[in-house]
Structures are given as C-alpha cells and as structure tokens.
Amino acid sequence: MSKADVVIIGAGPGGIFAAYELVKLDPNLKITVFEAGNSLEKRKCPIDGDKVKSCIKCPVCAIMSGFGGAGAFSDGKYNITNDFGGTLFEYIGKEKAIELMRYVDGINLENGGEGTKMYSTAGSSFKKLCMQNGLSLLDASVRHLGTDINYIVLGKIFEKLKDKVDFRFRTPVDSIAVNEDGTYRVNFGSDSMDADRCIVSVGRSGSKWMQRICEELEIDTSSNRVDIGVRVELPAVIFSHLTDELYESKIVYRTSKFEDRVRTFCMNPNGIVVNENTNGIVTVNGHSFEDPAQKTDNTNFALLVAKHFSEPFKDSNGYGESIARLSNMLGGGVIVQRFGDLERGRRTNEKRLRESTVRPTLAATPGDLSLVLPKRILDGIIEMVHALDKIAPGTANDDTLLYGVEVKFYNMEVKLSERLETRYPGLFVIGDGSGVTHSLSHASASGVYVARLIAG
Ligand SMILES: Cc1cc2nc3c(=O)[nH]c(=O)nc-3n(C[C@H](O)[C@H](O)[C@H](O)COP(=O)(O)OP(=O)(O)OC[C@H]3O[C@@H](n4cnc5c(N)ncnc54)[C@H](O)[C@@H]3O)c2cc1C
C-alpha cells in the first residue's frame, strides 16, 4: 500500500493552488493529486464544428475535467471580491479572503499572466447610471486572463509542479475511508492509497460524488439554491462602454412583478457562447479570448434568477436539472431564441435566425424558451433585458439572442469548520465541491488557505 502525506482529489484551481502552496511551504511533503480527467495538453472536446457539431456527452467532459478543472477553458476572470463568487469570507473572514485572492493573482502574474489587465468598479460612473435605472452594480476588481493566457498560466504552473507532485490523471477516486489511526484511504479502481491528510476539491463535476461521500462518511450537508436563466448574446458595441471600462459588470435588478433578483453573470466581451455538459445534461456558458485574433463581434453574458427552496423540498439541483433536461429534450441540446420572437410568443426557426443581424457563435437549436422556463423566471428575464436596455440601449432589440438554459448548480454545502475541515481532523473540502466557493478566485484561495493550515 503506497502512502502520501497529503492526497488531493481534483486538479481544478482549488486542488492546484493547494498543491502549489504545499510544495512552496514544505518541499519535502509527499503529495499525490488524483484527477478524473486528462493532463492539460490531452484535454480536447470532440466538438470540431465539422464532424461533431454538438455535445456527444463524453463520460468525462474535457471542458469540465482534467488539469485546470472547469477553469481550464474558462474566461479566466479572477474576481477579487467578497460580494460574489462564494462565501469563503464567512469561514475565514473578509480580509483574509481578499488577501488570499490577491496572493493567487500574484501567482498567476508570475506564471504568464503579467501584462493582463485588472479592471475595477471603484470610482466608476456606471454605479450612478445603474442606480438611476433601478439597477445595482456590485463592487469588484477583476483580472481578466482570457482563455488563452489562462491556459498558458496553467501550463507553467504544471511545469513547476510536475516533478514535485505525483499527478495521477484519468484516475477518479471511487471512495474515501477513515482508517482507525485517523489517516485516510482513497480507493481508485482496484488500488488504494493512504494519506495523513486529504483535501477534496472535486468541483461542480464532482457534486454527485461529493454527496455520496458525505452520506457514506455521515458528514452533514445542506442545499437549497439553484440559479436558472439564459445566456444573452448581442453585438459587442451595445455593451462596449461598460465592458471597455469594467470588463465584467455584475448588475442586479429586482423585478417589479415578483421582486425577484435577476443578475448578470459571466460577461464575455467579444466572446463565444459554448455548451457545458454537467453529468450528461447540456447547458450553456461562455468565454472569450485575450488574443485579438480570436475575438468575435459579439458579447455574451448570463441573466440568472436565484431560486431558493424551503422545506420540505431539498433537491434544488434536481429542479435545475429537470429544466435543463426539458430544453435538451426539445432542442437536443441548447435552444436559441431571438428576444423579439420570445416577446411575440413565437418560436425562432432556422429562417428567422438566419435573417437575424446577430450571428450566433454557438450552433444551438432555434426554438421557444417559453416552453422550457417557468413563467416567473422568464418574466424576470424579460424585465431585466428591458432594464438593461436603459443603460445599454439595444439590449432589448428583437435580434438579441437568448440561449437556454443556463443553470448555475450550487453544490450542496458541506458542513465545515472555519478551517474548511470536516468533522474528521485532516479531511478538508475546498473549492466549488464544498459549496463554499463558486469561482476561480475563491476556489484557488480556499486551496492556499488549507495548504497553509497543513504546512503549519
Ligand atoms: C465555461 C466556463 C467558464 C467559466 N468562467 C469562469 C470565470 O471566468 N471566472 C470564474 O471565477 N469562474 C468561472 N467558471 C467557474 C470556475 O471554473 C469554477 O468556479 C472553478 O473551476 C472551481 O474550481 P474547483 O477547483 O473548485 O473545481 P473544478 O475546477 O470543477 O475542478 C474539479 C476537478 O475535480 C475532478 N474530479 C471530480 N471528481 C473527481 C473524483 N472523484 N476523483 C478525481 N477527480 C475528480 C474534476 O475532473 C475536475 O477537474 C467557469 C466555468 C466554466 C465551465
């Protein structure tokens, strides 16, 4: 039986930054990282736009899994804020959380991110403009690495770690057992490994696995939220005054009809809309490149409505999945609809889409989102599009494209101490898999935090 000092499960930002910090603080530690997906250079989504046009539901999604995790082909927006992206500050304090996010930013800069831009809402005149129109702009600084530089940063970090950390790619961990002496045994395939400490960082793709592990080890969890909505795509020029200054603006709107909160999320100036496959369900997402040659004429962002459930219903993710499944059933994947068609209560068909002035960057099925999204959510999205039209005229144009559905699944929250430790000493859960974080910066910061605790 092989033995490690620290086993890390999952090589997304959480796992990578935990490994990075451990190596830095204690180079003698024996660290093994188990990752269900491939090494960075072997990660390849089969969609080539030619032979394979849409998601074929690979058992391990190359976009979500492998070195870099869900972050590898992301837009690489590292938001430095406690206002969104997770609730890490509730465990470790606001100052510490910001300090760690800045530290992560420094490591990214040292590893290929230098020269990328940091945007900030501080002093922005858009705060007033939003307020005057019933919208609220959240405070944040955001480093935009872009998908291409993000990939370079990951490659450089891997080069630094590869001889110091035992990486096991294509090796999903099946289960974790607590040994009598308080160490941990991770089981993978027909093999096992023991470790003094175990850091679990399995992200969103590992949400079901995480739930099972918590049940098996009798670790308490809670879950009551899912965000549901659409991805909006429009000509970049409509949002350019905002994106040039802020890159990403997190704007919140309270609907007049139901007083629901609708918010913008993951804004990608001159970006592309992409499919995302979570546990076989295809939803929509987006990203953009830093390289001018790869920029498109469109900007995309999500509009999401948070849905909180109360007792007795507990399966908020199941609710989101059912809605996504409905869109997959009707559209064979993601559905796209012109805003004008949605408001007129008619389906977008191939002809209407062809005639649209906005060229879609994702090959989705033209259809009718009103057959998929619950009325209350759809009403909120329509209201928000009109509210945004006041600060970015043209948002509510007929040809604005809405892709559905975008679902932001929240992992159930694992019961953790302020050390991000379960009730078992030395068994830590970090990143999006813990339910504590929902972003690159928070997930990475949680990895550094736990590594520092372990290295003492
Ligand atoms: C298209 C896209 C764009 C995004 N853009 C942004 C952005 O611009 N800014 C931002 O802040 N966030 C963005 N996100 C979200 C961000 O990527 C995540 O918040 C972040 O990656 C979470 O990091 P993590 O380490 O917690 O988990 P993940 O990155 O999900 O990594 C978890 C890893 O664990 C592995 N794993 C799971 N189960 C097991 C197992 N049993 N055994 C071994 N390995 C396992 C998975 O294969 C995966 O590689 C984006 C996400 C997507 C999909």
**Spatial separation of the C-alpha atoms in residues 72 and 66, rounded to whole Å:** 8
Helices (H), 54-134: 88-92, 94-108, 126-132
> If DSSP codes are grouped into helix, strand and coil, which group holds residue 362?
coil
Residue 350 pLDDT > 80: yes
Q: What is the pLDDT of residue 1?
A: 75
Q: What is the pLDDT of residue 279?
A: 73
Strand partners, 135: 253
Q: For residue 84, what is the DSSP state? A: S
Q: What is the pLDDT of residue 291?
A: 85
| Structure confidence by residue, pLDDT tens digits, 174-198 | 999 999 999 999 999 999 999 999 9
Indicate which residue's Cα is closest to atom 30 of ligand 1.
Answer: 203
| Structure confidence by residue, pLDDT tens digits, 91-102 | 999 999 999 999
| Structure confidence by residue, pLDDT tens digits, 395-443 | 999 999 999 999 988 888 999 999 999 999 999 999 999 999 999 999 9
66 lines ligand 1 (CB under 6 A): yes
CA nearest to 400, candidates 231, 283, 227, 247 = 231
Mean confidence (pLDDT) of the chain = 94
Distance of CA 204 from the midpoint of ligand 1 (Å): 6
Q: How confident is the model over 300-307, as a mean pLDDT?
A: 95
For the record, the structure tokens of 424 come out as 């078992």
Number of CB atoms found within 10 A of residue 232's CB: 27
pLDDT band for 55, please (50, 70, 90 cuts).
Answer: confident
pTM: 0.84
433 lines ligand 1 (CB under 6 A): yes
The C-alpha torsion from 364 through 368 and 372 to 374, rounded to 10°, is 130
For the record, the structure tokens of 68 come out as 């870099």
Residue 76, Cβ density class (10 Å: 0-12 exposed, 13-18 middle, ≥19 buried): buried
Indicate which residue's Cα is closest to atom 7 of ligand 1.
Answer: 77
Q: How confident is the model over 152-172, as a mean pLDDT?
A: 98
> If DSSP codes are grouped into helix, strand and coil, which group holds residue 98?
helix
438 lines ligand 1 (CB under 6 A): yes
Q: What is the pLDDT of residue 278?
A: 75
Residue 170 pLDDT > 90: yes
Residue 66 CA, closest ligand 1 atom number: 49
What is 116-145 written as a DSSP string?
Answer: PEEEE-TT-THHHHHHHTTEEEPP-EEEE-
Strand partners, 302: 231, 265
End-to-end alpha-carbon separation of the chain, Å?
27
Indicate which residue's Cα is closest to atom 9 of ligand 1.
Answer: 77
pLDDT band for 51, please (50, 70, 90 cuts).
Answer: confident
